[in-house]
């Protein structure tokens, strides 16, 4: 399973109502640093299966979601636990640092 494509249509079900922590990757296809982080995010989605979810939000397609989280720069990585923001990081991060955000 790769990262889940998060849209405004599945956001509530996949993120807000999730019993597991959710790592969200706010990205865009034209963003160089986003492309650098993407392989690590995909690897993490495999490694944390059953313990956490990983979702990707394309800010060009889901500008409403990006705006509601005040995403001004990308990539923005966010961990949502119990429907609340637990951690945020802006800019490219190494895989180990992203995993540390999830605290699994």
pLDDT tens profile 57-104: 999 999 999 999 999 999 999 999 999 999 999 999 999 999 999 985
Cα distances (angstroms) measured from residue 56 to each of 75, 78, 102:
10, 10, 15
Q: What is the DSSP letter of 95?
A: H
| Dihedral over alpha carbons 74, 40, 81, 60 (to 10 degrees) | 30
Query: CB count, 10 Å around CB of 25?
Result: 25
Average pLDDT over residues 28-51: 95
pLDDT at residue 41, rounded to an integer? 96
What number of residues does the chain have? 104
Answer yes or no: is pLDDT of 39 > 70: yes
Share of the chain above pLDDT 90, in %: 95
What average pLDDT is seen over the chain?
94
pLDDT at 22: 97
Residues annotated as catalytic (active site), given as ranges: 31, 34
Residues whose CB falls within 8 Å of the CB of residue 98, separated by 6 or more in sequence, listed in order: 23, 37, 40, 41, 44, 77, 89
What pLDDT does residue 2 have?
83
User: How would residue 35 be classed by pLDDT, with cut points 50, 70 and 90?
Assistant: very high
- The per-residue pLDDT for 103 is 82
User: 65-70: which pairs have CB atoms within 8 A and are 24 or more residues apart?
Assistant: 65/6, 65/7, 65/8, 65/11, 66/26, 69/26
Which domains does the chain show, CATH number per domain? 4-102 (3.40.30.10)
Range 3-29 average pLDDT: 96
């Amino acid at each position: 399973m790769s990262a889940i494509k998060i849209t405004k249509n599945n956001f509530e079900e996949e993120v807000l109502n999730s019993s597991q922590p959710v790592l969200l990757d706010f990205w865009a296809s034209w963003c160089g640093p986003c492309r650098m982080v993407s392989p690590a995010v995909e690897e993490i989605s495999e490694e944390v299966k059953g313990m956490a979810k990983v979702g990707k939000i394309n800010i060009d397609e889901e500008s409403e979601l990006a705006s509601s989280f005040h995403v001004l720069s990308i990539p923005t990585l966010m961990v949502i636990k119990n429907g609340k923001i637990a951690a945020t990081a802006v800019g490219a991060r190494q895989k180990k640092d992203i995993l540390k955000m999830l605290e699994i």
